[in-house]
DNA sequence: GGTCCGATACTCGGATATCAGGTGTCCGAGTAGGGGCGG
DNA sequence: CCGCCCCTACTCGGACACCTGATATCCGAGTATCGGACC
């Protein structure tokens, strides 16, 4: 069970975009320089957040990415699931219905208990991530952080 | 973030072994037939549970696998982490210290907030899995299940 | 009949191919801005 | 001096290689058992 490395990238990128002024944008190249990441691959992953409706992209000069919604309405879960997919890491293939020990269909009306427990754990994970929004992340940073981020990311204080 | 398919196999195998009488064993071939799984690959994965101390293996005729401890002391978490590893799916590579926006080391005394939140979610997932033991899984099955399992798995009622 | 011994068959354990998905890179379509020209 | 137009450069978006790790398979080392021979 491993999240893509780009998960960390996008979490930090989203947190950085949340520190810009409303409406301001940062290009993929700027974000890549800011964190020293491969620009092309980062751009590809940012598309996932656009498709998920977390970010909005504008093309052309002065274009780039910005938050599609207020930072308080973007949770860590939405970012993580945008890049990695919302599927549960445990996929029940109903092996209890296969092989010599196959259970009759009548006993399989209820979902497999093991699958249910795994789904329960996944839900606990999701709930934990859903309780934190980007605005809370920003609030935990030093007060000087947003200004510094704007300067070093876009060059406009 | 995807768990190996063998995770489901091992959970069901462990649950089946927990239904045998104390000291009884089932071979990898028997378990593979019971669930219609590739025997060789299943044997390889069962080794992981042996190394983790969840199962005990005995070679030779009448040999096979059995629980290394009482079912009440084996949690789902131990099984899942035995096959997939105990590492967190999110790996913080401290990109906040790299690139143009690199933070000074003095601000990085505290762990990255995003990494902390991800670790918190992972801990919630682990706690959820740690609260369920194999004996609780068995208890949730129909009373006739253990007898049936013993018969179809090892042939000895 | 009891006991010892050897062959046997069955078990796990690790080393070896194969394939999918994340990682990395590239080029093309589209657009907003800036400069030049004309009125 | 003002407005319009064209060009440029910059942006995202999707299509194409590469490489690590999960998947699948095989063969070898070790051992408890079963049968036979001997005492």
B chain contacts of residue A120, beta-carbon cutoff 8 Å:
128
Measure A4 CA to D19 C1' (Å).
15
pLDDT tens profile A92-135: 999 999 999 999 988 898 999 999 999 999 999 999 999 999 99
Q: In terms of CA atoms, which chain B residue is nearest residue A126?
A: B121
With H, G, I as helix, E, B as strand and everything else as coil, classify residue A31.
helix
CA distances from B116 to A129, B43, B83 (A): 11, 37, 25
Tokens 């049936």 — which residue? B148
Q: Which helix (H) or strand (E) holds B65?
A: strand B64-67
Closest residue by Cα to residue B89 from A5, A120, A45: A5
A87, A93, A124 ranked by CB distance to B8: nearest: A93
Is the CB of residue A29 less than 8 Å from the CB of residue A14? no
Q: Is A55 within 7 A of strand D by CB distance? A: no
Cβ distance B117 to A95 less than 8 Å, yes or no, reads no
B34, B89, B92 ranked by CB distance to A101: nearest: B34
CA distances from A105 to A96, B38, B124, B142 (A): 10, 23, 34, 14
- A82/A134 Cα distance (integer angstroms): 15
Closest residue by Cα to residue B152 from A22, A9, A100: A100
For residue B124, the model assigns a pLDDT of 98
DSSP B106: G
A chain contacts of residue B90, beta-carbon cutoff 8 Å:
3, 7-8
Is the CB of residue A16 less than 8 Å from the CB of residue A64? no
For residue A91, the model assigns a pLDDT of 96
- A144/B129 Cα distance (integer angstroms): 40
For residue B155, the model assigns a pLDDT of 87
A chain contacts of residue B35, beta-carbon cutoff 8 Å:
95-96, 98-99, 101
Task: Work out the mean pLDDT of chain A and round it to a whole number.
Answer: 95
Judged against a pLDDT cut of 90, whether residue A157 lies above it is answered with no
Cβ distance A149 to B124 less than 8 Å, yes or no, reads no
Q: Say if residue B5 is exposed, middle or buried (CB neighbours under 10 Å; 0-12, 13-18, 19+).
A: middle
Which residues are registered as beta bridge partners of A56?
A66
Judged against a pLDDT cut of 90, whether residue A82 lies above it is answered with yes
For residue B157, the model assigns a pLDDT of 73
| Residues of chain A (62-101) having a beta carbon less than 7 angstroms from strand C | 62-63, 84
* Spans in chain B with pLDDT lower than 70: none
Q: State the helix-helix crossing angle for A113-130 and B113-130, rounded to 10 degrees.
A: 160
Q: What domains does chain A contain, in order, with CATH numbers?
A: 6-88+133-154 (1.10.10.10)
What b/e sequence results for A65-104 when a residue is b if at least 16 CB atoms lie within 10 Å of its CB, and e otherwise? bbbeeebeebbbbbbbbbbbeeebbbebeebbbeeebbbe
With H, G, I as helix, E, B as strand and everything else as coil, classify residue B37.
coil
Question: Which nucleotide lies at the shortest CA–C1' distance from A7?
Answer: C22
Which residues fall within 8 angstroms of residue A59, CB to CB, at 6 or more apart? none
Is the CB of residue A28 less than 8 Å from the CB of residue A43? yes
For residue A106, the model assigns a pLDDT of 87
């Amino acid at each position: 069970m491993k999240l893509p490395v780009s998960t960390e990238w996008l979490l930090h990128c989203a947190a950085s975009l949340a520190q810009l002024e409303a409406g301001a944008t940062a290009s993929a190249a700027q974000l890549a320089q800011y964190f020293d990441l491969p620009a092309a691959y980062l751009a590809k992953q940012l598309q996932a957040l656009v498709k998920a409706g977390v970010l909005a992209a504008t093309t052309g000069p002065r274009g780039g990415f910005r938050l599609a919604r207020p930072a308080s309405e973007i949770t860590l879960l939405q970012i993580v699931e945008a890049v990695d997919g919302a599927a549960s890491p445990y996929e029940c293939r109903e092996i209890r219905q296969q092989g010599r020990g196959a259970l009759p269909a009548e006993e399989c009306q209820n979902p497999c208990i093991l699958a249910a427990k795994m789904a329960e754990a996944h839900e606990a994970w999701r709930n934990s991530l859903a309780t934190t929004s980007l605005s809370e992340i920003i609030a935990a940073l030093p007060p000087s952080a947003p200004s510094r981020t704007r300067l070093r990311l876009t060059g406009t204080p």
